[in-house]
Structure 1
Amino acid sequence: MSKGIKIVTIGGGSSYTPELVEGFIKRYNELPVRELWLVDIEEGKEKLEIVGDLAKRMVKKSGLPIKIHLTLDRREALKGADFVTTQFRVGLLDARAKDERIPLKHGVLGQETNGPGGLFKALRTVPVILDICRDIEELCPNAWLINFTNPAGMVTEAVLRYSNIKKIVGLCNVPIGMEMGIAKLLNVDHSRVRIDFAGLNHMVYGLDVYVDGVSVKDKVMELLTDPNNSSFVKNIQGIGWDPSFIKSLNVLTCPYHMYYYKSEQMLEKEIKNYEKGETRAEVVKKLEKELFELYKDPNLDIKPPQLEQRGGAFYSDAAVRLITSIYTDKRDIQPVNTINNGTIAGIPNDSAVEVSCMITKDGPKPITVGELPVPVRGLVQTIKSFERTSVEAAVTGDYNKAILALTINPLVASDKLAKEIVDEMLEAHKEYLPQFFKKN
């Protein structure tokens, strides 16, 4: 790697890419990126060119010797890569809109990574990530795969259980968003805050929180009872926790817990948005349109601040921080999705968990958690059962497994309802689910 690093980003036409490029520019002294290959598919070609041109202008402004390549040929890009990042959306935002709208029609939460939406995003995404893994095994077997594609936990699990790739780390912006949010609440610099994270992707808890190594958990729990402080991500509006609930739970929740602990209120809110034609996918479509108009400006050579409205703020900062720590063997602590191997008791060893890890040149070394606190243990195990069954359904195309997965999920009230939703969503996403429509 002495000649500099080759990074390949699959889903390079994403609106997040400028933040990634900004991260590589900022950390160039520690992470000398020589080549950045942005890869996309035919439907994403126009966006790839717009984002790619902006990336080239950003690099030119920085004066750094980073070469940006744009391609629709994934295999050409992957040859000899050191790191591969994945940030793609099978079926684009139209598929996300269906994931949100169809469940709501049945009176069930429609959300990108939870409930029926999470199941169907996994069913579409898992075969694609496994296909990418086969190319990586052949063309850059020593590369690290850093996945941000949602549902990140299930995607990481699929790679761990159904491919030969061991150098995989799943990444989400929720933990870093929680750290940033808590730093802001406490009015301290983010670098001074550390949270002990444990759980699953979008089902992660903060077991303790420290400033300069001293626990401030009690103070933070108090602050979290304010409705304005209950969510740290743009795509979930906080409702505010009941003070007695949050205090007795005695761990930090992530914004996605609202779908489980406040299902009724969140469903009401989503149905109102649905009736106004304002599901999150529709909001994001408008935001993306505005962002790409900005990106087209030939005078723009920085990441525009409007990108933070997109909901993925800090993604790329987290990604570049992670890649840098692996490359430099930094041994700092970061929350990532990795193989459990006994880190959390009661979760299968070969499953993905989201935990605080020491990041080394050999990848993440999880900090052992042992048993999760009793009040949260059951929900985490239930969601892991849902995730494992969903991944199996995605790999095998087993219709009954898909219904079983959805019936296990706490957001769906019965097996009959699960079957109705699966039937309608299979038909709606038929184009992206060939494994379920194989001719006998």
Structure 2
Amino acid sequence: MEMVGGGPWEPGEWTDDTDMAIAIAEVAATGADLRDPSAQDSIVARWHEWSLRAKDVGIQTRQVLTTAARGGEASAARARASSEALHRRTGRTAGNGSLMRTAPVALAYLDDEDAMAVAARAVSELTHFDPDAADATVLWCCAIRHAVHTTELDVRIGLHNIPVDRRPLWIERIEQAEASRPADFPNNGWVVAAFQAAWSAITTTASRAGTARAEHLRLGLDAAVRCGNDTDTVAAIAGGLLGAAYGASAVPLEWRRLLHGWPDMTARDLVALANTVARKGRPNRGPVYSGLRIGTLAAHPHDPNVLLGGVGVLRDLPPEVDAVVSLCRVADHDVPQGMPHIEVRLIDSTDPDENPHLDFVLTEAVRTVEQLREEGRTVLVHCVEAYSRTPTVAALYGARLRNIDVADALQDVLTALPHANPNPVFRNALRRLRNVNLLSEGTPRHG
């Protein structure tokens, strides 16, 4: 699957699904309780502000927001009244618009399932008053919360939060999704079909991921976008749950490089916003480098157009560098401007829980460097001190570039970086990757 754009959207630009979720996340990131009317007022006001210039807004959502803003500032009370009136008048307010944006609600209540269920239903009803829409958001939020805590994918985990008389129907719908393909739910503008298509995309691709669990995120999203009709929404729904289970490190770096959208945000901004929501608005302590050898800089022994360094090099980039791959956290004031900057979540730790997709992440990092070099760029690959993460990625890159053994490539890198010493878990990963497809799919053309 490639991000090619379409219509008014650029490659990698997210659509209204993510736009509306961001508005919820922005409010949750202040530490506000989304059950409070004042927090819901802020959400509705932000949605209305966004809708005035949005490239696309759902018909029902626009109708509710327009009505809510008549005669004054849009408010939650007016939005909910408009949503309810529309439902009473038509009986058709079960679109997928509230499910597609619900993931931030789950992040805001990772420690309180009961509060989360109330908030999910309340935020859904601001634009979609049908009980099916609210039920779907509650079930999906419960599944997201469970996935964050356990990495398990279980959409039944929240059934106890659904009214007793509606539970059998939802069980039937879930079972139908698991026995079908995503394309079997073509009416996916309806929240139930969108729910089923997303869950089908997830469950029918799980076994194909094999031992590389991170691949399930890509496979599930690929299945979602191929289901037809409202594919971006089905993918947004599926992505919220898959991302909760596998984390940001499972997102292909090629996608993260392109991701951007309203309101002038990038993948880095989305990660920061999600973290702030999960922390309930509490500030995150930035990286501290005092006493560390952060100014290390050396040329890659097998490619002079790849530089290996510490994070301090970002503060005085060599003039030839026009792309950066960061293998550690980077403070906002150190983020390079005017060039591709790809951040890789790779923790220098021997705890396997810190890097649940280590082989996948290392492979992605190397392929990213290769892609940047194919574009003719001079690439800085760095971590904090070029001590453990950088030499590990550099060794894999060199082995593939020169078609040599990884152990020999690592020794060459350690000669260039004499103070470096990859941790034992990273060294084991190098040995695992020695004979896998990363090193056998062909030698890059540059170099």
Q: Quick check: TM above 0.5?
A: no
Which structure is richer in relative contact order (CA contacts within 8 A, separation 6 or more)?
1
Instruction: Tell me which protein shows more strand as a share of its residues.
Output: 1
TM-score range, shorter chain: under 0.3
Structure of greater Rg: 2
TM-score normalised per structure 2: 0.27
